[in-house]
Structure 1
Amino acid sequence: MDPLTFDYEDMHLRVDRGVFELFGLSTPDNTYRVPLRWLGVLVHYKKPDRPGKLFFGVVRDPNAALYGTDQAAFQCYTSPAFRVPPGDEPLFRTYFTEVAALADRRVA
């Protein structure tokens, strides 16, 4: 099976053989790698009309939602300098719904 990829602005996301990888294309030190079993992703909006912050991390419980994870479900997380406007959130939801299916997990 070919890797499942998604590109958004300066970010390249990739899932291959049970591993999620994030690459910041303009900053090579902005990378993240985690097994799908433990991946948690959240776009957190403080204000509905403002861009949200994209969080990637490790969840405490592998049965937690892969995308839309509650911040309390994270064991640890990182928030690269990626902002997501509310209108672009469905793009992430679509991609991570496919990723969740590969990992036999759900989205919130």
Structure 2
Amino acid sequence: MDPLEPRVFRHERVHIQVHHGILEVFRRSNVVGPYRYPLDWVTVRAEARRNGVTRLYFGIAEDLGEPIYASGPGTAPVFLRHEIPTTDEPLYRAFFTELARLADRPIMP
């Protein structure tokens, strides 16, 4: 896996890409975006909600040694909230597990 090659994740109304260590998140919505941050700074927290929905919180890591992706809302400042069907959560988790390996960051237990 070449760390300089772009990594792209497309699912429904979201497009996430990482290139040269920068993560960008694009959503087809009326919310201003895209969001662009160094991958080393990014955290994503998955919180199970009611009615089969999981809310993803994209934020800035307070501790650069924390996992990129984990369960629970976390305490980091949030720059994006995105709701997905809970059944789709494993797709996001797999993508962020790959990114954690690229960025030499811990993987959610």
How far residue 69 of structure 1 moved from its aligned partner, in angstroms, is 5.7
Find the counterpart in structure 1 of residue 18 from structure 2: 15
> How many correspondences in the alignment?
105
- Confirm whether residue 71 of structure 1 aligns to residue 73 of structure 2: yes
Q: What SS does structure 2 have at the residue aligned with 1:7?
A: strand
Aligned CA distance change for structure 1 residues 69 and 45 (closer, same or farther; 3 Å): closer
- Give the whole-Å Cα distance in 1 for the aligned partners of 2:16 and 2:92: 10
- Give the whole-Å Cα distance in 2 for the aligned partners of 1:59 and 1:70: 14
Determine if contact 1:66/1:100 at 8 Å carries over to the other structure: yes
Which stretches in structure 1 are left out of the alignment for 5+ residues?
A: none
Q: Give the TM-score normalised by structure 2.
A: 0.84
How far residue 6 of structure 1 moved from its aligned partner, in angstroms, is 0.3
Q: Which amino acid in structure 1 is aligned with residue 95 of structure 2? A: Y
State the identity %. 32
Deviating runs (4+, > 6 A) in structure 1? Answer: none
Q: Which amino acid in structure 2 is aligned with residue 79 of structure 1? A: L
Q: What SS does structure 2 have at the residue aligned with 1:97?
A: helix
Which stretches in structure 2 are left out of the alignment for 5+ residues?
A: none
Find the counterpart in structure 1 of residue 46 from structure 2: 43
How far residue 50 of structure 1 moved from its aligned partner, in angstroms, is 2.0
How far residue 8 of structure 1 moved from its aligned partner, in angstroms, is 1.1
**Equivalent residue in structure 1 for 2:36, among 14, 25, 33:** 33
- Give the whole-Å Cα distance in 2 for the aligned partners of 1:53 and 1:72: 12
